[in-house]
Amino acid sequence: MTASDRARELVRLAARAADSKKAEDLVALDVSGPLPLTDAFLLASGDNERNVLAIASEVEDVLNDAGVKTLRREGRTEGRWVLLDFGDLVVHVFHEEDRLFYSLERLWKDCPVIPLELEEPSVTAE
């Protein structure tokens, strides 16, 4: 089983939103095989609690504006690991230290990576 087209589109929307708030180490995983309740995870890191909360808020706003309902949200008070559940997609926004500690990429290492299509930053000549 592979992630649905809808889940892949949600991954792209969420990744662009996270990237716009300076999220680092964006990784999307197709977890549809081992998990019956969701198709994809998006993992992102922020370098401090404020950045983690800004990333999570932007992802939630963008997906809600696209008509996707947030089913569950956890971790907003601490700003260390925010989990946003959108059904087909679960977004994990970590403080970089917590991401290293919990190492979800290692836990889900057998799951295929979903390519992210993010714009490359433009370089201006001086």
CATH assignment of the domain containing 16: 3.30.460.10
Strand pairing of 81-85 and 40-46?
unpaired
In whole angstroms, give the CA distance from residue 107 to residue 63.
Answer: 26
Alpha-helical (H) ranges within 66-111 are: 96-102, 104-107
pLDDT digits (tens, 9 = 90+) for 15-33: 999 999 999 999 999 999 8
Two tokens at 8?
Answer: 């892949």
Phi, psi of 20 (to 5 degrees): -65, -20
pLDDT digits (tens, 9 = 90+) for 58-113: 999 999 999 999 999 999 888 999 999 999 999 999 999 999 999 999 999 999 99
Q: Is the pLDDT of residue 7 over 70?
A: yes
pTM of the entire structure? 0.90
Higher-pLDDT residue of 89, 126: 89
pLDDT attached to residue 122: 43
Looking at residue 105, its amino acid is E
Alpha-helical (H) ranges within the chain are: 5-20, 49-65, 96-102, 104-107
In whole angstroms, give the CA distance from residue 75 to residue 69.
Answer: 18
Q: How many domains does the chain have?
A: 1
Residue 121 lies in a domain: no
**For residue 51, what are the domain limits?**
5-114
Residue 123 lies in a domain: no
